[in-house]
Amino acid sequence: MAELGPVLEVLLGGLMSGVLYSLVALGFVLIFKASGVFNFAQGAMVLFAALSLVRLAEWLPFPLALLVTVLIMIAVAWTVERLVLRPLVGQHGLILFMATIGVTFFLDGFGQTIWGSNVYQLDLGIPSTPWFLFESLFPGGILVSPVDVFATVIAGSLVLALSIFFHGTRIGRALRAVADDHQAAQSVGIPLNQIWLIVWSTAGIVALVAGMAWGSKLGVQFSLSLVALKALPVLILGGLTSIPGAIVGGLVVGAGEKLAELYIGPLIGGGIEYWFAYVLALAVLLVRPQGLFGEKIIERV
Amino acid sequence: MIYRETGQFRTSYAEDQAIFRLRQDRAGIAVILAVAWIGIPLLADDYLLRAILVPFLILAVAAIGLNLLLGYCGQISLGTGAFMAIGAYAAYNLALRLPGLPLLLDFFLAGLVAAGIGVLFGLPSVRIKGLYLAVATLAAQFFADWAFLRVGWFTNYTPSGSVTAPPLDIFGWLIDTPLEKYWLCLAFACLTAILAKNLVRSRIGRSWMAIRDMDIAAEIIGIRPTTAKLSAFAVSSFVAGGAGVLWAFVHLGSWEPLAFSIDMSFRLLFMVIIGGMGSILGSFLGAAFITVLPIFLNQAPAMVGIQLSTAMVSHLEFMIFGALIVLFLIWEPHGLARLWQIGKEKMRLWPFPY
Amino acid sequence: MRAPRSAALLATTAALALLAAQPAAAADTIFYPSLVYRSGAYAPNGIPFANGVADYVAMINARDGGVGGVKIEFEECETGYATDRGVECYERLKTKGAGAVAFSPLSTGITFALTEKAPVDKIPLQTTGYGRSESADGRVFQWNFPLLGTYWSAADILIQHTAKISGGLKGKKITLVYHDSPYGKEPIPVLQDHAAKHGYTFEAIPVTHPGVEQKAAWLKIRQTRPDFVFLWGWGVMNSTAIKEAVAVGYPREKMYGVWWAAAEPDVRPAGDDAKGYNGLALHPAGADYPVHKDILKYVYDAGKGAGKREEVGEVLYNRGVIDAMLKLEAVRTAQKIYNKKVVTGSEVRDGFERLELTAERIKELGFEGLVTPLKVSCLDHEGARKARIHQWDGQKWVFVSDWIEADTNYLRPKMEAAAAAYAKEKGITPASCS
């Protein structure tokens, strides 16, 4: 039992950091499903949302700051949709992808210009001292961090809310219709532009939630935008179009990389969690190009 | 009026296949080459050579490498920096472990190593494409970053992980002044440009473009997608690897893996997009643009009397890069090179456009 | 594609192409370049340092009209902590004005790259508290000045301190969590040497740039439960490390940061949890020193401060001030040696080599209590190798140890051996120093 304790602990810790990856990946999936755009700017949106919230909260009461940030994210979504995506409609996916890289750089620069480039503390009032579970079973118990638990709960409720939204509401049905077939959806009178606006706004709000979770963990600063790079393999693993896929992909990557780092890492020099997720995604790509949960429509030659 | 093909008849196939078919174009390129080889060395100071022209030429070579892959074969790569790193470290290790090796041969072999690894990471392109491929090349980027950081053998177990290039000695000619370095890079840039230009006009280049434009149609007319894609990866990585050697040996002198991080890959991608996908000229224009923009941003506000803070300048740089990418993709996906071409078309009609 | 658009795009590009060469500056100034990073992942730490440098130079210009009667022309260049951009900045600024007097790269990676270039261009590299450790041997590294302490000194001081407070390190475990770059790797050889000598087990865990992924490292620390964790991080890596330490319940009292991992931006994001975290200090924090009064009076009261008024006196701000002061002292020394006002890089090098800060001089400069006396010589480019330990009490840094001096008898031969190896590789003939 003594041997099992640390492994379980690493597994649990990994799963929980995986949830954080999932949160970012979720934003990608939403947009990809509805508009076929692989939005590289999701990471920049996470940073921008977190920065806005933390700086606004300095002189506004927190709930108000949260509300204003939501409005800002909707404005960002609207701007991106209007100025970038609409002129590029119908273009090749690669062009759209590169355009979102442009948006990423713009948002990174813009966010730092108006909000500053320091580290800002985001205190959500979650206790940071760890909890120890099953201390009777394992020596030292199994360590769980409340911040991770909080993130897990948030991610869980977000997924629940999104599925209710997608399956229970009129807009949700319209969204799914658009995701299935743009033209068919348009021909039955679903306004595409409006739908895209809604999707981008939702992705903006998901980014805000991810930014809050990451920001309370790491402090709000520039490196938050780099989480996008961590979310890419998660997406590939789970499948680009599947919300459960994003969640499961995040969990697999999170747990896998922590276990690999601790148990394989020492054999080959350490630091492998830097590329582990990518190599895992690459392996999955070769065997199952649509990812674990993706739909089997993939362009192949 | 001046720029017009009237009266110039092509009477042989060789003439018809020339790269520059117009007398005016030939004269233009001769002037540019003369300025580059003779004029600039006479006029430019050390700073211009070392801090602007040398990096510009090296990045232009790397951008040609990426352009061959992205612009001509339609395969996206976010890992160009990794292939540059592979070239740089391969050259370092070859020079270290085979001391008698002539430097140029060393460079060539390093390029081949980069090409080999490029093919390896290009293999997924046989099965996947587009965005998925972007992730595969990112894997190359992250793996290379890690390997050169953590595997001591590559850096000859230097405690700090930073390695230093040997002196640049080409057949007894020691290259150490900025002017010599500039000439060396210029030679490489010209050579790469000519080879690349001819390559894309050849059978293999045309097969790349066929794959880019429509892979299924290309396959039907008898182009093997595997060969075409992998050869594009090989050539592109070879060129990028060569550029990496120059960047490390000529420009930096002493470097660490971070010099070839993902930022470098993104910068090259921007050069290709802004310069023009599918254009050799565009690679040069894009490289010039991205090299000069930060320097311009630093100095321009001061010239007109506005004092911008360093932080503001660097944020502005991010924003302008981002905005330009989007603008070019929307308005002119073929970049600066296309603008140049449009300019030329207009010149032909000037001053009597109809 | 309509014509106005192409014209607009063309116009923007053409405007950029018109990059005018800078006219040479007036003869009676010296040029002080400052490599900074005010943007990106390392900005939280780069900004206060850059502000300290900028404010000190502005104050000297405003109060004394420059150094030794010549105005200081000052320019910043953004490196983003990236080696290639640092090299570009160096190339751009080295010949500006009357020629750069010295460079402070503020990045070990950039220092490595510039170490090759500085002897060719004859410009000294001042690396206050960083850079390559063996460059303290001035016979081989004639152009490098790792003033006030190298990382080897830092590692040695940390070992001395931990050995003292725990009554010997025999059988103990020490883990180094380091930024995976030339910077983070510097202390490893010394810590390994000491492991054999003191009998502790040593483990080094790398953290990849920029350092936000540390979960695995800290889970490992939780399992191995080392007696001390040394932190060799920079930028966001430091605050993340403290947060992760909290998350795995590792006591902050047992954590020791190098002097680049012991400033306000490192502990503040962790809030109250950072309480008890220790770090090396080359100098105290605080804005109660005479030099700060002058900075506030001549710079901030005139509305020309580089940062916020309340940030004056932070740890990294003060380090920037000290860095600038040392550079200007070297310039003054050079002005005295050569008896002229506008000095070049190679003359300033001689100024650095004869730099001596006595207690009286420190008082004169308004730095009493802020900096230790130091004396640079041709043999020893480090000048002083002392630091104290300070601890974060949730609000401010409090000293918990007296000055500790690194063990020269052990470090010096090691440095000389490393420097000799470098000299051999590069074909440098060491200076005789006589």
Q: Is the pLDDT of residue A1 over 50?
A: no
Residue C77's nearest CA partner among C32, C113, C42 is C32
- Residue ranges for chain C with pLDDT beneath 50: 1-3, 15-26
Cis peptide before C251 (omega within 30 of 0): no
CATH topology of domain A4-127+137-287: ABC transporter involved in vitamin B12 uptake, BtuC (1.10.3470)
Distances (CA, A) of B185 to B27, B54, B299: 23, 6, 26
State the Cα–Cα distance between residues C218 and B8, nearest whole angstrom. Answer: 74
pLDDT band at A34 (very low <50, low <70, confident <90, very high): confident
Closest C-alpha to C79, from C49, C123, C119:
C49
- Rounded Cα distance between A121 and C239, Å, is 10
Q: Is B258 on the interface with A (CB under 8 A)?
A: no
Task: Give the Cβ contact number of residue C68 at 10 Å.
Answer: 18
Alpha-carbon span B333 to B272, nearest angstrom: 10
User: To 5 degrees, how large is the angle CA C311–CA C317–CA C321?
Assistant: 130
- Helix (H) or strand (E) holding B242, with range, is helix B225-246
How high is the pLDDT of residue A139? 67
8 Å CB contact of B326 and A274:
no
Is the CB of A112 less than 8 angstroms away from the CB of B318? yes
Peptide bond into B159 cis (omega under 30): no
Average the pLDDT over B47-69 and give the result.
92
* pLDDT for B174: 85
Residue B247 CA, distance from chain mean position: 11
Cβ neighbours, 10 Å, residue B203:
9
Test B342 with C1 for CB contact under 8 angstroms: yes
Sign of CA dihedral B42, B45, B46, B52: negative
| Spatial separation of the C-alpha atoms in residues B131 and C295, rounded to whole Å | 53
Note the pLDDT of residue B195.
95
CB B256 within 8 A of CB B78: no
Looking at residue B312, its amino acid is M
| Among the partner residues C5, C40, C182, nearest to B256 by beta-carbon distance | C182
Contact A5, A214 (CB under 8 A): no
> For residue A143, which residues of chain C lie inside 8 Å, CB to CB?
222, 248-249
Q: Note the pTM of the prediction, 2 decimals.
A: 0.87
Cβ neighbours of residue C113 closer than 8 Å, sequence gap 6 or more: B162, B252, B253, B254, B255, C83, C86, C87
Query: Backbone dihedral region of C380: left (phi > 0), alpha (psi from -120 to 50 degrees) or beta?
Result: beta
Partner chains of C (3+ C-beta pairs under 8 Å): A, B
- Report angle CA B183, B184, B185 to the nearest 5 degrees: 90
Residue C430 is classified by DSSP as P
Q: What is the mean pLDDT of residues B178-187?
A: 93
Cβ atoms of B131 and A93 within 8 Å: the answer is yes
Residues of C in contact with A223 (CB under 8 A): 41, 210-212, 236
Residue B107 CA to residue C383 CA, distance in Å, equals: 42
d(CA C88, CA A212): 37
Backbone angles phi, psi at A178, to 5 degrees: -60, -40
Structure confidence at residue C356 (pLDDT): 92
| Calpha distance C284→C132 (Å, rounded) | 24
The structure tokens 């190359």 sit at B140
Distance CA(A220)–CA(C4), nearest Å, equals: 42
Mind telling me how many Å the CA of A300 is from chain B's nearest CA? 6
Residue with tokens 């693993």: A237
Of B130, B143, B215, the CB nearest to A275: B143
pLDDT for the residue C11: 55
Residue B239 in contact with residue B65, Cβ under 8 Å? yes
| pLDDT beyond 90 at B184 | yes
> Of A293, A279, A225, A172, which is closest to residue A39 (Cα–Cα)?
A225
CB distance C123 to C102 below 8 Å? yes
Q: Which of B48, B161, B254 sits opposite C181 (nearest CB)?
A: B161
Element (H, E) at C392: strand C386-392
Name the residue ranges covered by the structural domains of chain B. Answer: 54-349
- Looking at the DSSP bridge assignments, the partners of residue C357 are C374
C-beta of residue C214 within 8 angstroms of C-beta of residue C231: no
Cα distance between residue A115 and residue A120, in whole Å: 10
Q: Which residue of C has its CA nearest to A18?
A: C215
Does B160 sit within 8 Å of C186, measured CB to CB?
yes
**DSSP 8-state symbol, C433:** -
Of C241, C263, C281, the residue at which a domain comes to its end is C281
Chain A residues 9-28 within an 8 A CB cutoff of chain C? 9-10, 13-14, 17
Which residue shows structure tokens 């405003």?
A: C62
- Other CB atoms within a 10 A radius of the CB of residue C359 amount to 10
Interface membership of A48 toward C (CB under 8 Å)? no
**B301/chain A closest Cα distance in angstroms:** 17
Give the distance from residue A227's alpha carbon to the nearest chain B alpha carbon, in angstroms.
14
Cβ–Cβ contacts within 10 Å for residue B220, how many? 10
Which residues from chain B sit within 8 angstroms of residue C117, using beta carbons?
253
Considering only CB atoms, B160 lies closest to which of C13, C43, C112, namely: C112
Is residue C173 domain-shared with residue C260, that is, in the same domain? yes
Q: How far is B134 from chain A (nearest CA, A)?
A: 9
Does residue A297 carry a pLDDT above 70?
A: no
User: Cβ atoms within 10 A of the Cβ of B231, count?
Assistant: 21
What number is the ipTM of this complex?
Answer: 0.84
Q: Is C101 contained in some domain? A: yes
In which band, very low, low, confident or very high, does the pLDDT at B231 lie, cut at 50, 70 and 90?
A: very high
Domain of C127 in residue numbering reads as 29-149+285-384
Band (pLDDT 50/70/90 cuts) for residue A300 is very low
Of C249, C266, C281, at which residue does a domain stop?
C281
Q: What is the pLDDT of residues B87-127, one digit of tens each?
A: 999 999 999 898 888 889 999 999 999 999 999 988 888 87
Q: Where are the beta strands (DSSP E) in B110-225?
A: 163-164, 169-170, 173-174
B266 vs A contacts (CB less than 8 Å): 101
Tokens of B139: 């894997």
The mean pLDDT of A209-219, rounded to a whole number, is 85
**Encoded tokens for A85:** 């995506």
Measured CA to CA, the distance from residue B86 to residue B113 in angstroms comes to: 7
Among B126, B131, B149, the residue with its CB nearest the CB of A93 is: B131
Q: Are C409 and C197 in contact (CB under 8 A)?
A: no
Q: Which fold has domain B54-349?
A: ABC transporter involved in vitamin B12 uptake, BtuC (1.10.3470)
Closest chain B C-alpha to C138 CA, distance in angstroms: 19
Q: Which stretch of A123-137, A230-244, C315-329 has the lowest confidence by average pLDDT? A: A123-137
Structure tokens at C5: 């658009």
User: Do residues B152 and B20 touch, judged by C-beta distance below 8 A?
Assistant: no
Q: Helix or strand or coil: residue C173?
A: strand
Q: Do C269 and A17 touch (CB under 8 A)?
A: no
3-class DSSP string for C25-81: CCCCEEEEEEEECCCCCCHHHHHHHHHHHHHHHHHHHHHHCCECCEEEEEEEEECCC
Contact criterion met (CB < 8 Å) for B259 and C84: yes
Amino acid occupying residue A196:
W
Q: Do A285 and B132 touch (CB under 8 A)?
A: yes
Q: Are residues C116 and C145 in the same domain?
A: yes
**Chain-centre distance of CA A281, in angstroms?**
16
CB contact under 8 A, B309 and C80: no
The DSSP H or E segment spanning A156 is: helix A146-168
pLDDT in the model for residue A196: 84
Task: Say if residue C184 is in the same domain as residue C267.
Answer: yes
Contacts of A262 in chain C (CB under 8 A): 216, 219-220, 223
Beta strands in C247-334 (DSSP E): 255-257, 278-281
**Strand-pair category, C29-36 with C71-78:** parallel
The verdict on a CB contact (< 8 Å) between C20 and B299 is yes
Q: Which residues pair with C175 in a beta bridge?
A: C203, C229
One domain for residues C38 and C125: yes
Tell me what pLDDT residue C201 has.
94
Q: b/e per residue, B88-117, with b = 16+ CB within 10 A?
A: bbbbbbbbeeeeeeebeebbbbbbbbbbeb
Gap from A92 CA to chain C (nearest CA, Å): 18
State which residue of chain B sits closest to A109, comparing Cα positions: B315
Q: Quote the minimal CA–CA distance from B328 to chain A in Å.
A: 9
User: What pLDDT digit, counting tens, does each position of A152-185 carry?
Assistant: 888 888 888 888 888 888 888 888 888 777 788 8
Q: To the nearest 10°, the Cα dihedral for C90, C96, C98, C100?
A: -20
Higher pLDDT, B3 or B245: B245
- Burial annotation A182-219 (CB, 10 A radius, 16+ → b, else e): beebeeeebebeebbbbbbbbbbbbbbbbbbbbbbbbb
Q: Give me the pLDDT at residue A296, please.
A: 64
- Cβ atoms of B265 and B327 within 8 Å: the answer is no
For residue B214, the model assigns a pLDDT of 87
Domain ranges of chain A: 4-127+137-287
Find the residue in B nearest to C133 (Cα).
B160
Greatest pairwise CA separation for chain B in angstroms: 69
* Chain CA centroid to CA A85, Å: 21
Total tally of structural domains belonging to chain C:
2
| Identity of the residue numbered C266 | D
Does residue C305 lie within any of the structural domains? yes
Residues in A touching B322 (Cβ below 8 Å): 102-109
Q: Is residue C419 part of a domain?
A: no
Say yes or no for a CB contact (<8 Å) between B299 and C87: no
pLDDT of C393: 92
Q: Report the C-alpha gap between C157 and C129 in whole angstroms.
A: 13
Radius of gyration of chain B (CA): 21
Which token pair is A97?
Answer: 């992808």
